[in-house]
């Protein structure tokens, strides 16, 4: 099975929040938190992550205060997950 976390290296940011630097050097997987799929000390499955630059990941994880509503951040993150899954599928890394 493909290690989806490693697939993020060198990829463009899929979250694309305002201020995104799109840096491929800092791209990692940002897991989408959703009730029932994560908990204390438990990350969601890797299929629920978006390729994310450092700036977007900081906003998603709440390490940096955003100048806009949390709902906007969650929507951008969810769309990023969908974009990431689509790219993985096109590359043959996952099957649906």
Active site residues: 31
3-class SS letters over 49-68: EEEECHHHHHHHCCCCCCCC
* Distance, CA of 29 to CA of 93 (rounded, Å): 15
Are the CB atoms for 29 and 46 separated by under 8 Å?
A: yes
**87 contacts: CB under 8 Å, gap ≥ 6:** 11, 14, 51
């Amino acid at each position: 099975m493909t290690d989806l976390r490693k697939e993020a290296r060198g990829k463009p940011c899929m979250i694309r929040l305002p201020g995104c630097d799109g840096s491929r050097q800092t791209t990692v997987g940002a897991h989408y938190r959703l009730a029932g799929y994560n908990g204390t000390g438990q990350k969601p499955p890797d299929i629920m992550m978006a390729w994310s630059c450092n700036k977007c990941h900081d906003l998603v994880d709440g390490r940096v205060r955003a100048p806009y509503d949390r709902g906007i951040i969650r929507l951008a993150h969810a769309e990023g997950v969908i974009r990431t899954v689509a790219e993985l599928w096109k590359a043959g890394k996952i099957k649906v």
